[in-house]
Amino acid sequence: MLASICFALTLTSCGSSDFTRFSELGGLRIVAVQVEDQLRAGVAEIDGNSTSPVTMRVTTYISDLNAEGRGFQVTVTGCVDPGVSQGAGFRCLDPQVIAFPNGGTFDTNLLSATRFTGSMTSFDLVINNPAELLSGRSDVQKFNGVNYLLNLTLTSGEESLSVIKSIPITTRILRNRNPEIDEVLLDGNALTSGPTTGGNLNLRLTPNGAAEVYEEMAFDGQITSQIEEYLITWFYSEGRVRPFRTVETQQPELVLRTSGPVLLMAVVRDRRGGVAVRVY
Amino acid sequence: MSSFRLLSFFLFLAYTPRGSFAEAPDNLAAVGPWRGQVLERGTLRPLALANVFILPEGLKVTTDQDGQFSFEQVPIETRDIVVTLTGYQRFKQTIDLSKRPQRLLLEKSSYVAFETKVIGRKDRKDASKATLSKEEFLKAPGSFGDPIRAVENLTGVVQSPLADVAIQGSPAEDTRYLINGHEIPFIFHFGGLNSVLLPESVDSVDFYSAGFGPEFGRASSGVINLVTKPPDQYRHGQMAFVDFLSSGGFAQGPASKNSSYFVGGRYSYAGEVIKAVSKSITPDDDEAGPPTFNTAPTYFDVNLQYYHQIHDKLQFTFLGIASQDRVDLIIEEPGDPTFSGGVDGLTEFFRLIPQLTLDLGKDEQLSASVGLGVDRQRFQPGNQSLNDVREQVTARAEWRKKAWSFLETSVGIDHLYQDYSLDARLSSSFFSRSEVRVPQSVSGLLIARAEASDFRQGYYWRNDLSFGSRKQWVFSPSLRADHFGLHESTQLQPRLTLRFKESEFASWFVQTGIYSQPIDPRLLDRQLGNPDLSPTYSRHYALRFDRDFRDGQAQGWQVRGGVFYKDLRDIVIDSPEFIDRGRGLEARRFANEGSGFAQGAESLLQYRTQDIAVNLGYTFTDSRRRDRGGAEYRSAQDQTHNANLTGIYNYKNWSFASRFRYVSGNPFTPVVGGVYFENADVYLPIPGGRFSERFEDFWQLDVRVDRKWIYDSWILSLYVDVQNITNKSNELGREYSFNFQQSGAVMGLPILPTFGVKGEF
């Protein structure tokens, strides 16, 4: 019966222990992509009421420990969501090509120290007429948001890695903001650098400020208020964080069997496109 | 059987004095009447037509329908009493006739032997129908005695790891589940190990496949109808059982001279076992823990029946059934963040089904029944929620008359009315039809609240027209009309059967028809689905033969087989387009833009004696689909070969059963890579060719041993049922690493032994 349960849960919880773990850093990973409206600090959504250009600053966080420094070609394209959740492919029919700095290249040696983990050079996404992209959409879609999909691909030799970031274009006035991380506590002490001592240690992330209240429109036009719930993903270079995905109130356990500097990364998402990253 | 007849005859000759043996001798000092009852040992069922002898006088009487016997003038002193009845051990005992009345207990020759049935004499009108009797499904190996699990042994049933029944290359959602003709929302409890009705309350399970008649509708593939058993009208009886997965029992018996009752129920603690096992597993530092449970998966079902023979032509039956499944699962490290926090699920339903059957004469009958009930589904995966409540009324009625010697006609209704309410906060991909599911956290959450009334009306008219010199041809033109309220659509569905009776024991059938099925209301919801969806539609064609080589005997061979073709239209598929329904562009989500076919051949070879039953069933299936007129691809139900060999051997009160299954690996769509979807912190699978690969072929051997001990007024049974006795690892699915760069097989159940004890009182 357990097999049936696992099967019924579409294999979400019974994965093989032989597989590479989601949260273990080593190979090339794109860990997070943060966007921010250049006119409204912290806002992570595109103003769908605007008929003039809106510029969103895009910052990509990557990790590439094992390669120990290398160069990448970076290509960025974007389009309005063709219906990925309903089975459409990821390919945009008429993609917008977005320029990446330095002629579309990036070298991980530019990242912090020798950890080859951190934020890449930021670039700007310019949406010339967001209101036009919502033209013809239902009021519910306009309010709740139509997604603009940003597709960034890193290529080095034969290795290639893609990420899709979905940025809501919305007409609602109360816009979503990126969360902020106040501090990460390890056994009650604020972390300033990667953990160095072994053992079973408690982690806790404290966001800066309360979770946002936001509005959703139901199909009948009724607007209801919801409260954001942060989801934290923990990444590490050694040992194990269990569970690796937590909500704000949870305190996962960092299990370290060896002493030495460990790269620890916390990524906070508000499940609406807002994200914050802290690397130790 | 013949040996018992000989024995009876011998006894008759040996103990019968010349002349009349029903008269008492004149020279006895004390004579008087002596009465009693002959009952079956263990069950205390009255035995009719048993011969009761008093020796040495050789007096003899025969028991009546209630097992009663009576001697009017016998010596009131100790005598040898002998009782004989075909199929039972000879009873001989010295009894003091002054003690009265007497209860004589006859032990069956075997309590596990098959009942002697002559199959073939009864006209088989509908070759699309296969029936499993209680005797057959209770002993079926690998089925835990469950009627629906036993259906898997029939030809045409797609072997599936999920808790449903798919028929002849069609998806399981095209199968309709009924109890006494009334629709129920699901047939299996969680996990698919048991169906929702206590097996002991089921008389038979009818399985309808391609070309089925007009009596059933709203299903484009087939129907499974559980028929309950009228409660025992002769004696009070109880049964209780305990096994590894569940325990339960029932009580039944006469309520009055013309009425009887049945009360039964079952509770499964299988989930508690799983909960205990998962708690006992301490993961290594490097491993994820197994799922843990707030509430272990549990289920129960209860079942009430009442039968009343109002007068000799009018019967009233009442069936009440309730079923509930519940689970609350915590997943420590879900791959899809949607499931963070776990999954809480509840499904329950009840039905109250009163039925009247009126015998209007030799060739005329009227029956009517109503089903009242509520279905409730509550599902909370992580931050999503689904509350689906349906208050249902179903109504069936049929008038049947043999108008002339060459024409039998029946008309009937088959209605369903439901008040439907939905309160959901779900990922927009929650009901996605795609075989490679996009993680639900990728899609935005939709809020849907809906209340609707749905009246599905069904009318049918069936005719059986016999002609030919020996009436060897039977032509059955029929018509079914369904009106689907939510669709505002009426579907006319002509159905036709032509039968040629080559002999009393050999027939050929040609069957065809149109079948229409309404769409689940959730997919018609404007927010979650597409209100413009049409009912799905299929055309069935079947050619079948049926040859019973037993020619009226109980022992021998029987073979059935045939070919089928199903043309499938208006299949619902995902639709990523946006359309304008007057409120601006909105997601279309689904469309009737799929089509396909399922074709195949099936054969069932059976050999049967009183102690042996062997079945070899084989189905060949070719099932294809096409989306929007695009390239054809295999369907998920394209099981090329499906073979089942079952055997049962009865010896005294032992029964040994075994099943061997071989099934071609199910097709699946491989995932060839992944793209990181940053917002949801998951990778999106990149699907390869649709159903372009197959899992490894499936085979499994199951065995079951039953042993009965017979006591005067009760029977003790012990059974051991071992599924997958060779511990074969069968691939049921494919799992992938988080970024779809690594893959591995998901295996089915390992060896699963269960045992249980059952007491019948």
Least Cα distance to B364 among B328, B330, B313 occurs for B313
Question: Inter-chain contact B162–A8, Cβ cutoff 8 Å?
Answer: yes
Question: Cβ–Cβ of A83/B744 closer than 8 Å?
Answer: no
Among the partner-chain residues A11, A82, A233, the one whose CB lies closest to the CB of B735 is A11
The alpha carbon of residue A128 is apart from the nearest alpha carbon of chain B, in Å, by 21
CB contact under 8 A, B285 and A88: no
Residue A244 with chain B: CB contacts under 8 Å: 333
CA quadruple B496, B501, B505, B509: dihedral positive or negative?
Answer: negative
- What are the tens digits of pLDDT across the range B604-650? 999 998 889 999 999 999 999 999 989 999 999 999 999 999 999 98
Q: Which residues of A touch B443 (CB under 8 A)?
A: 85
Does any CB of chain B come closer than 8 Å to the CB of residue A142? yes
Q: What is the pLDDT of residue A17?
A: 58
Rg, Å, chain B Cα set: 29
**A window 31-60, beta carbon within 8 A of B:** 32-33
Residue type, A101: P
Lowest mean pLDDT segment, chosen from A144-158, B8-22, B425-439, B622-636: B8-22
User: Going by DSSP bridges, is the β-strand pair A275-279/B693-694 parallel, antiparallel, or unpaired?
Assistant: unpaired
| pLDDT over 70, % of chain B | 91
DSSP A226-241: EE---EEEEEESSSEE
User: Which token pair is B437?
Assistant: 């599911």
Residues 164-223 in A contacting B (C-alpha not used; CB under 8 Å) = 164-166, 216, 218-220
> How far does the CA of residue A145 sit from the closest CA of chain B (Å)?
9
Confidence at residue B137, expressed as pLDDT on a 0 to 100 scale: 86
CB contact under 8 A, A20 and B742: yes
Chain A, chain B: beta-carbon pairs less than 8 Å apart? 219
**In this model, does residue A165 exceed pLDDT 60?**
yes
- Torsions phi, psi for B457 (to 5 deg): -100, 135
What residues in A contact B678, CB-CB < 8 Å?
Answer: 30, 32-33, 163-166, 275
**From B335, B677, B741, residue closest to A164, measured CB to CB:** B677
CB pair distance less than 8 Å for A22 and B339: no
Residue A163 and residue B162: Cβ atoms within 8 Å? no
A-chain residues near B280 (CB < 8 A): none
Q: Provide the ipTM.
A: 0.92
Mean per-residue pLDDT over chain A, rounded: 87
**Range A237-255 average pLDDT:** 85
Q: Strands A46-47, A159-170: parallel, antiparallel or unpaired by DSSP?
A: parallel
pLDDT at B269: 83
DSSP state of A15: -
- Is B191's CB within 8 Å of A275's CB? no
**In whole angstroms, how far apart are CA B621 and each of B155, B240, B597, B606, B663?**
11, 41, 10, 21, 11
What is the model's pLDDT at position A8? 44
pTM of the predicted model, to two decimals? Answer: 0.85
Distance from the first to the final alpha carbon of chain B: 28
Test mutation, B272, B333, B628, chain A, max A CBs within 10 A: B333
CB of A136 less than 8 A from some CB of B: yes
How far A148 CA sits from the closest chain B CA (Å)?
Answer: 12
Residue B434 and residue A87: Cβ atoms within 8 Å? yes
DSSP B556-612: EEEEEEEEEEEEEEEEEEEEEEEEESSSSEEEEEEEEEEEEEEEEEEEEEEEE-SSE
B394 contacts B371 by C-beta, under 8 angstroms = yes
Between the ranges A260-264, B10-14, B265-269, where is the mean pLDDT highest?
Answer: B265-269
Which whole number is the average pLDDT over B679-708? 92
Å from B455 to nearest chain A CA? 24
Instruction: Give pLDDT, residue B214.
Output: 96
Q: Check CB contact under 8 Å for B678 and A30.
A: yes
Interface contact flag, B585 A138, Cβ < 8 Å? yes
What are B99's two structure tokens?
């003690």
Contact call for A20 and B575, based on CB within 8 A: no
Our CA-based measurement puts residue A268 at a distance from the nearest CA of chain B, in whole angstroms, of 10
Please answer yes or no on whether B676 and A233 come within 8 Å at the CB atom: no
A contacts of B441 (beta carbons < 8 Å): 271
CA distance B223 to chain A (A): 24
Summarised one tens digit per residue, pLDDT across range B519-568 is 999 999 888 899 999 999 999 999 999 999 988 787 899 999 999 999 99
Q: Which chain A residue's Cα is nearest to B337?
A: A245
Min CA distance, A244 vs chain B (Å)? 7
Cα of B113 to nearest chain A Cα, Å? 32
Is A13 an 8 Å CB contact of chain B?
A: yes
Q: Note the pLDDT tens digit of each residue in B246-302.
A: 899 999 999 998 999 999 999 988 777 776 766 655 555 555 555 555 556 789 999
For A:258-277, CB contacts with B below 8 A are 267, 269, 271, 273, 275
Residues β-bridged to residue B701? B660
Cα atoms found within 13 Å of the Cα of residue B183, Cβ hemisphere only: 22
Interchain proximity A163–B675, CB inside 8 Å: yes
Q: Which residues of B touch A12 (CB under 8 A)?
A: 331, 334-336, 339
The confidence score (pLDDT) of residue B116 equals 46
CA distance A2 to B271: 9
Please give the distance of CA B624 from its chain centroid, rounded to a whole number.
27
Q: What is the pLDDT of residues B413-446, one digit of tens each?
A: 999 999 999 999 888 888 888 888 888 777 777 8
From the list A87, A137, A161, the residue facing B432 with the nearest CB is A87
Q: What is the pLDDT of residue B292?
A: 57
- Preferred mutation among B422, B527, B574, B678 to probe A, highest tally of A CBs within 10 A: B678
**Quick one: which of B131, B183, B176, B175 has its CA closest to B353?**
B183
Q: What is the pLDDT of residues B369-405, one digit of tens each?
A: 999 999 999 988 877 899 999 999 999 999 999 988 8
Selected residues 145-174 of chain A with any CB under 8 Å from a CB in chain B: 145, 147, 161-166
- CB A83 to CB B675 under 8 A? no
CA distance A187 to chain B (A): 19
* Token output for A114: 């020798």
Q: Which two tokens stand for residue B667?
A: 């097709």
Gap between the Cα atoms of B199 and B674, Å rounded = 46
CB-count exposure of residue B178 (10 Å: 0-12, 13-18, 19+)? buried
Closest partner residue to A273 (CB to CB) among B270, B428, B679 is B679
- Best of A81, A86, A172 to disrupt the B interface (most B CBs within 10 Å) is A86
Chain A residues whose CB is inside 8 A of the B422 CB are none
What does the DSSP 8-state code read for residue A120? P
**Rounded (5°) CA angle B679-B690-A163:** 20
Give A-chain residues touching B575 at CB under 8 angstroms. 86-87
- Measured in Å, how far apart are chain A's first and last C-alpha atoms? 43
What average pLDDT is seen over chain B? 87
**Mean pLDDT in residue range A205-231:** 88
* Chain B touched by A90 (CB under 8 Å): yes
Give the residue with greater pLDDT, B327 vs A155.
A155
Q: Do B441 and A142 touch (CB under 8 A)?
A: no
How far is it, in rounded angstroms, from Cα B385 to Cα B425? 5
Is B49 within 8 Å of B30 (Cβ atoms)? no
